[in-house]
Amino acid sequence: MKNIREDRLEGFIQDWYWDRPSHEFARKLGRFLLQFLDYLSEEGLSRKTINIHSRNCWCIGKCECDYGNTDTFSYRRMSSSPAASYVFSFEHKWSRSKSSVGSYRTTWRRLYKYTKGLTNVRDGE
């Protein structure tokens, strides 16, 4: 998988962790989500669309870190279903608008599809 610049990674995850173990989890998750966003950019999506997916990925990461009930990152766990996780939290914390929730669900479906396409990749890399 591609290398992600440290400053980009740390800027993306800065609100996701509170101690050393949670920081390590956030780093692995953040690296994975940034690689997904790079993949979307390489697909030729517009800057506006990438920005929407980026905002949604930030929310996904925040929810995974706050509510995920796991200490070990696994991209395979994120590919268990195309259904969006943490919709209630998204609506409560960020937006209840139909278009925002729909966009959030779309990002989860795209993330699911991306994750299903990964082969021979070890979790956390």
Rounded to whole angstroms, how far apart are CA atoms 55 and 58? 5
pLDDT at position 121: 53
Q: What is the three-class DSSP state of 4?
A: coil
Query: Helix, strand, coil proportions of the chain in percent (round to 5)?
Result: 65, 0, 35
Inter-helix orientation angle 47-67/6-13, to 10°: 60
Q: What is the pLDDT of residue 72?
A: 84
Q: pLDDT per position in the chain (125 positions), as tens? A: 457 799 999 999 999 999 999 999 999 999 999 999 999 999 999 999 999 999 999 999 999 999 887 778 888 877 778 888 889 999 999 999 999 999 999 999 999 999 988 865 554 44
